Amino acid sequence: MSERPFDAAHAYRRSFSPEDRASHPRYSALIDELSGSDIARQLLIEAPREQRNPMLVLAALHYAALEGDPALAPLYAKINTTPPEEFATRVRARLEGAPELVRRQLHRKTQTNEPGRSVVLVGVLRELKTRGITDVHLIDVGTSMGLNLYPDHYRINVAHSNDPTILNVEYLRDAGSAGELARIHQRIGIDPNPLDPQVPDDVRWLEACLWPESPERIARLHELVGQILAWPDATRLTGSALERIDEAVSTCTPGPTPVIFHSWVAAYFSNDEQRQWRERVLEHVGRGAAWVYLEHPDYVRALTPPPDSFTSPRPGGSQVVVAQPHQGATSWGWAHAHGRWLALRPPEDTHRHGVKA
């Protein structure tokens, strides 16, 4: 079956969940403006197929602002005090007057590297420890700068909502412990373009990929970049997931369980790449690895996400899927794409599920 023709306007319009629209009114207004711009739609079409994501255009505009563009820099500096419609129309006008600001960044990749997603790893690694998996090697696919290779280095402050099964994640930063997790031995990241915390332009691009209406995320990024060099060593492999996963697993020393993790990575694969990825990873699961992912099921249908009678408790949630060693993939719950909330309900017994390639 051939893939659907790419609809740039639709991609813009659906790129924000209702929850994100409520919390980011200016970026939401900008997304709507860009969906109606011929130039913005064309720029998205010009991006490499695997990066035809409106977040790439948003990041390129933010990058131009961080670089000091005379029209964008003051707008972004005062984003939270500018009316949404004014912000959106002025950014659109600048883009349409100078599309090269975005065009020259289309070779890049969106590399948000949101450390809040480590809350999923914290929850899963805690649960795996209760199931006898006490020592692991962590393989982070789409690792970017590697901030999600250190879930055991974060302190997670949470508050319960009206539903006690949902964990509202208030803040995640270095200092303290995430709690009793499976012990992490080796840390291996895979990325086509791993970023270096010692390279200023890499840090600037990573900041550009963040949404400027959330200054706490930007402050957290700079805090973590300042500390990551003092954390345990990690191996970073340059290349695609399919190219490097076998090598990543093979470098793991015997004993601990390799845990293959990705969050909003497979959504950028083609259908064929998703099928190949599923088959490849399940081969490793059949040999004793575990597989953990946070992806929106609508975007990874070729991974065949397992059904879950427990639907996302909030609109736009991403599914947490886990395949334990020698078992099939099962749904463990849902989380916000950036880890702002987590609702885990691991199945009581997954041993009855066999691995199927």
Domain ranges within the chain, ordered by starting residue: 8-103, 115-344
Which positions ≥6 away from 275 have C-beta within 8 Å? 302
Cβ distance 125 to 151 under 8 Å?
yes
pLDDT at 269 over 70: yes
Strand boundaries in 197-354, DSSP class E? 235-238, 257-263, 290-295, 318-323, 329-335, 341-344
* pLDDT in the model for residue 356: 35
| pLDDT of 340 higher than 90 | no
DSSP 8-class letter at 329: E
Q: What pTM value is reported for the model?
A: 0.82
The alpha carbon of 65 is separated from its chain's Cα centroid by a whole number of angstroms, namely 23
Residue with tokens 């009316």: 83
How would residue 111 be classed by pLDDT, with cut points 50, 70 and 90? confident
Q: If you ran DSSP here, which 8-state letter would residue 78 be given?
A: T
Distances (CA, A) of 296 to 175, 233, 265, 336, 337: 30, 31, 10, 10, 8
Q: Which two tokens stand for residue 24?
A: 């980011």
pLDDT surpasses 80 at 164: no
How far lies 47's CA from each of 44, 97, 105, 191, 271, in Å? 5, 19, 9, 18, 18
The CATH label, of 3.40.50, 3.30.870, 3.30.750, 3.30.930, for the domain at 115-344 is 3.40.50
- pLDDT-based confidence at residue 163 (cuts at 50, 70, 90): low
CA distance linking residue 31 with residue 13, whole number of Å: 7
Task: Give Rg (Cα) of the chain.
Answer: 20
Q: Which residues contact 305 (CB under 8 A, 6 or more apart)?
A: 295, 297, 319, 321, 329, 331
> What is the band of 173 on the pLDDT scale with cuts at 50, 70, 90?
low
